């Protein structure tokens, strides 16, 4: 979950933009157990055995959440 902590503090070597950081093992969480209540969900990537990186689910956008909303007709504003 977004609030889980793997470790309070850890020393890492200097990292550069686009460096890969892999944490293993990190538990049994998966996409179906992820919760969207603090922020929009990030992209999900798959790192292949050959080191290739593929986006398998794009990052969530506000429109993704809004598209699921439906307002019953009797509550919709009527144009004047």
Q: How far is CA 8 from CA 4, 5, 11, in A?
A: 10, 7, 11
Residue 3 in this model has a pLDDT that exceeds 60: yes
Q: Residue 16's pLDDT band (boundaries 50, 70, 90)?
A: very high
Task: Tell me the domain boundaries of the chain.
Answer: 36-66
Instruction: Choose the weakest-confidence range: 9-13, 21-25, 26-30.
Output: 26-30
What number is the average pLDDT over the span 15-19?
Answer: 90
Q: Where are the beta strands (DSSP E) in the chain?
A: 44-47, 53-57
Q: What is the pLDDT of residues 37-78, one digit of tens each?
A: 777 888 888 888 898 999 998 999 999 888 988 989 999 887
């Amino acid at each position: 979950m977004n609030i889980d902590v793997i470790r309070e503090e850890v020393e890492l070597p200097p990292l550069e933009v686009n460096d890969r950081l892999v944490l293993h093992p990190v538990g049994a969480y998966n996409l179906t157990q992820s919760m969207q209540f603090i922020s929009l969900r990030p992209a999900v990537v798959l790192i292949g055995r050959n080191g290739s990186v593929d986006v398998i689910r794009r990052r969530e956008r506000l429109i993704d959440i809004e598209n699921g909303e439906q307002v019953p007709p009797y509550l919709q504003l009527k144009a004047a």
